[in-house]
Amino acid sequence: MDKVTEQILRRRMHGLYLSRKCDDIVELSRELLGLHCWFHRNVAFSALIRGAQLAGWKKALTKTWVHHALHGVAPDDLPTLLALNSGGWRWGEEYKEIADKAINLMEDGVYSRAEMRLIFAEEYDRQIIERALSPWGGVFCELARLGKVAFRDMTSRDFDLIDAEPMQTFEEVLPGLFRRFIAAYGPATLTDAAWFFGLQKERKRELFALDLDEYSRFDYNKNVYYYIDDNADMGGIPELTLLSGFDPLIVSYTDRGAVLPPEYKKAVIMKSGICLPTVAVNGQVAGLWNIKKGEPIVEFFTAQPRRIKDNAFYLADSICLQTRHQIYSELN
């Protein structure tokens, strides 16, 4: 690893709470602009890895679509985050009609897509219903983007009505959100920011037109990296780090080479796009970990010293025990 890559990793791991701790899951989500939760347990993993507690976590965050994926976000942050991709209804009128009826059904106490499928079966073609109520989002993804619905909690598949309609324009929120992105994710490029926020072509151009004089920067591999130089102690790169599935350190950048060696990419990121939980040694992915059937699993891609293997299993086991305890305490 060259010196520049090392400095990039040091700053990123500090900003993303991988070389320091954040004990509050809501504050963690706010600082990281949401916690990726295509699988809800990744939020639990990400929080525990970064020192946050899980007490009440299922309802502490709002689970919905922001940027270009499902995230757990601080409820009061949602209108601002949604403003980045705001706008009117983007589907056809037929699906707008179904969305309006879905809202009416939720007002009457129907919250699941399964129940709505049965109700709509007498009125709409099956193919239309399947697209409208798709488990990948459907009309609920559009309603979520408009700030009208979100999942009932972090683990539920049902929806609730919410009131999070963006009150600011894209142009008003962009400078502040870009600064928050650089504070947590920097050093990063403008292309990284556009990717992270899921900006379309027109809005991407506005990102590149921002006044960037307040940021420190450097050139590396024909890219300009921006960061905030606040004289904070970045600390070192931990010898061993567990990363959650879809961890921000991996999925938030267009160039993942600093943390994910190319030879391991296929083992970490599936053809479906799923990013597995990983183990990083000195800041670079060196293996996989997970919890399967209630037990921790750790697998390295190459031979590692005994202390690395033992410590990785200890960390995975600790997360396993904490998630078990949380589930038990909530059931009792």
The structural domains of the chain, with segments of one domain joined by +, span 88-145, 240-331
DSSP state of 259: T
DSSP state of 275: B
Token readout for 124 is 């709409």
Strand ranges inside the chain, DSSP E: 35-36, 62-66, 69-73, 149-151, 159-161, 216-220, 223-227, 240-243, 278-281, 284-292, 295-300
Distance CA 85, CA 107 (A): 26
CA 271 to chain centre: 19
Answer whether the bond into residue 296 is a cis peptide, omega within 30°.
no
**pLDDT number for residue 327:** 56
279 touches 298 (CB < 8 A): yes
Token readout for 276 is 């597995």
pLDDT of 319 > 70? The answer is yes
pLDDT digits (tens, 9 = 90+) for 275-311: 999 999 999 999 999 999 889 999 999 999 999 999 9
Sequence-ordered list of residues with C-beta below 8 angstroms from that of 83, at least 6 positions apart, any chain = 166, 167, 168, 169, 170, 172, 173
Distance CA 220, CA 213 (A): 18
pLDDT digits (tens, 9 = 90+) for 138-183: 999 999 999 999 999 999 999 999 999 999 999 999 999 999 999 9
